[in-house]
Structure 1
Amino acid sequence: MTSNAENELLERYGWPIEEMDFGREDDPDVIGCAVLEEVEGGTSGIFVVRPGLDEENRTGFAEWAVQRVGRYFEHGPEPDGWQKRSDGGWQLWVRRVEMPPI
């Protein structure tokens, strides 16, 4: 079952979340990656998560992705630290981190 955020990403922008082994076995907290690229006629996006990611983390990734895409369109890549790629796109790795209580 897909989350509301994952459905929004697909329905609003046409970008599914795909599973892909992106070779970060040495860094198990990295759960996904987002890539945005300006193309003729708009922006293209690729969103990938580790294969077999549990539902809670996949939903969290989808919610994060919807928020970051909105911020990218409103403010550009700088506020969230998107990294410039050699192909001209912008990329963010997503790491699951539990913050200590305040």
Structure 2
Amino acid sequence: MTSLAERHLLEHYGWPIEEEDFGRHDEPEIGGCALLAEVADGVQARFVIRPNLDAELRAMFAEWSVQRVERFLEHGPEPDGWQRTSAGHWQLWTRLVSLPPL
């Protein structure tokens, strides 16, 4: 079942979440990445996750993606640490981290 956030990405922006083996097999906590290109009327985006990511992690990635795009549109790349690619676009990787309890 597709999450609300994933449907929002597709219906509101027209951006599906794609599955692709992007390597990084030595870093299993890397679940996906977002790529943004600034264009005349806003941004174009591509969201890529590891193949066969379980439904809960896929939903978390979709929610993260919506939040990152909306923050990028409002505040630019700085708040989330987007990195410039050699093509001049923006890239951000997701990494699952378990934080200790407070």
Fold shared, TM-score > 0.5 on shorter chain? yes
C-alpha distance in structure 1 between counterparts of 2:100 and 2:35, whole Å = 29
Distance 2:40 2:71 in 1: 21
For residues 43-71 of structure 1, the C-alpha deviation after alignment (integer angstroms, 9 at most, x for no partner) is 11000000000001000000000000110
C-alpha RMSD over aligned residues? 0.8
Structure 2: distance between partners of 1:22 and 1:76: 26
Question: Structure 1 stretches of 5 or more lacking a match?
Answer: none
Once the two structures are superposed, the pairs formed by residues 16-95 of structure 1 within 5 Å of their partners are 16-95=16-95
Instruction: Provide the TM-score with structure 2 as the length reference.
Output: 0.97
- Count of aligned positions: 102
TM-score (norm 1): 0.97
Structure 1 residue runs of 4 or more that deviate by more than 4 Å after TM superposition: none
SS at match of 1:62: helix
Q: Which runs of 5+ in 2 are unaligned?
A: none
Residue identity (%): 64
